[in-house]
Structure formats: structure tokens, C-alpha cells
């Protein structure tokens, strides 16, 4: 039982720090500490440098549109970014309202646009908060919270 708790504690601590430690007998590779034959590989967490969200009226579609945008960088390479989400919360009752996956066309800017009728959001409501969350392939993450604007 003690071994299980030690393994669980080690796993939780590795996932929460944003780094990965790999132990082995190899003396080659990146981050090798030749003194004790331990490989150490670091994973940089992705970083959200800018985020914006809001609602605006599209006269062509004759409906309000919710837009989400985030600029994301990963020092290990953009290819390591796995998922980007915009999670919308109602601050009045502290409840989750809706979630949107963002996609990228240029490796750095992730966006999503949704017609209001496709969401659980209302453009005239002023108590939303948006958490932008990015995960990399190693489950390291960053969160960026904003209050969305409304252009009514």
C-alpha cells in the first residue's frame, strides 16, 4: 500500500509541476546527468500571451456571434500544443455555462466563432467570465481568464 501511495504522490507531483523526469541507465541524450546516470527531460508549459472574447451582431446572419481568440506559444515547439478551450462561467451563481474548442490556422492564434443560437450564452448578459485553457502533449497547461465584451 505504501508503494502505491508513493507512486501516486510522484505522479501527481510530476504532473502539477510542468516538468517530466525520466530515470534510466542511459548516459546519452538531452539533460543527462553523467554523475548518477539519470536522464532528465524538461517540458516547458504552453503560455497564453493574449486572449479575447466577446459578442457582436452579424447583420448578414441576423444573429449575435460569440468570438473567442487566444495567442499561444510553447518553447518546446508549437507542434506540442494538444488542445485549446474557452470555458465560459456564470459569475453570478459560479456555474459552468458552455465550452468551446479553439482551432488554429497559423500555429499561434487559436479562434472559434459561434452563432448565439448554437450556444447556451446570451449576448446581453453581463456576468460571464471566460477561462482560456491550453494543454500540451504532456498535459502541462496554462489558464488565462478574462471578462468578455458585448457589442450590442
Q: Where in the chain is the domain with CATH 2.60.40?
A: 47-151
The bridge status of strand 149-151 relative to strand 32-33 is: unpaired
Q: Which fold has domain 47-151?
A: Immunoglobulin-like (2.60.40)
The torsion angles phi and psi of 6, rounded to 5 degrees, stand at -65, -40
pLDDT single digits (tens) 61-101: 899 999 999 999 999 889 999 999 999 999 999 999 999 99
pTM: 0.71
Q: Which of 48, 45, 47, 49 is nearest to 15 (CA)?
A: 45
Is 107 or 93 the better-scoring residue by pLDDT?
Answer: 93
Q: How far apart are CA 80 and CA 137, in angstroms?
A: 6
Amino acid at each position: 500500500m505504501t508503494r502505491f501511495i508513493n507512486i501516486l504522490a510522484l505522479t501527481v507531483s510530476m504532473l502539477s509541476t510542468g516538468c517530466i523526469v525520466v530515470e534510466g541507465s542511459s548516459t546519452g541524450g538531452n539533460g543527462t546527468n553523467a554523475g548518477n546516470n539519470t536522464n532528465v527531460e524538461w517540458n516547458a508549459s504552453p503560455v497564453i500571451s493574449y486572449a479575447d472574447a466577446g459578442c457582436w451582431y452579424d447583420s448578414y446572419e441576423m444573429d449575435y456571434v460569440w468570438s473567442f481568440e487566444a495567442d499561444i506559444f510553447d518553447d518546446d515547439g508549437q507542434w506540442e500544443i494538444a488542445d485549446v478551450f474557452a470555458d465560459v462561467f456564470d459569475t453570478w451563481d459560479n456555474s459552468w455555462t458552455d465550452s468551446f474548442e479553439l482551432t488554429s490556422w497559423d500555429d499561434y492564434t487559436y479562434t472559434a466563432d459561434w452563432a448565439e443560437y448554437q450556444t447556451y450564452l446570451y449576448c446581453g448578459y453581463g456576468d460571464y467570465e471566460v477561462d482560456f485553457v491550453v494543454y500540451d502533449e504532456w498535459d502541462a497547461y496554462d489558464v488565462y481568464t478574462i471578462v468578455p465584451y458585448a457589442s450590442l
